[in-house]
Amino acid sequence: MPAEVITAALSLVGTLVGTLGGIALSSNLTNYRIEQLEKKVEKHNNLITRTYKLEQEFAVMDEKVKVANHRIDDLEDLEHES
């Protein structure tokens, strides 16, 4: 077999190994980055859920304060009438 054919075959094998190795490495890196982004999204979603709950609790507390202020006003009106 001529030396040129052997050199070409070895070059082809080296190119294939390098290409497939690069694809595998790139795929692993992409999967890692996707996992990290999924973790960030999960943290963000938890923050949104907690914020929503806090807003609901704030609305309840705000309503309670309004009711308490209204009762105080009513009691002050009664005190001024008598």
Mind listing the pLDDT tens digit for each residue in 32-57?
Answer: 999 999 999 999 999 999 999 999 99
* Alpha-carbon gap, residue 74 to 81, rounded angstroms: 11
Question: pTM for this one?
Answer: 0.57
* 28 alpha-carbon distance from chain centroid: 21
Share of the chain above pLDDT 90, in %: 88
Position 71 pLDDT exceeds 80: yes
Separation between Cα atoms, residue 76 and residue 49, nearest integer Å: 41
Which pLDDT score is estimated for 77?
86
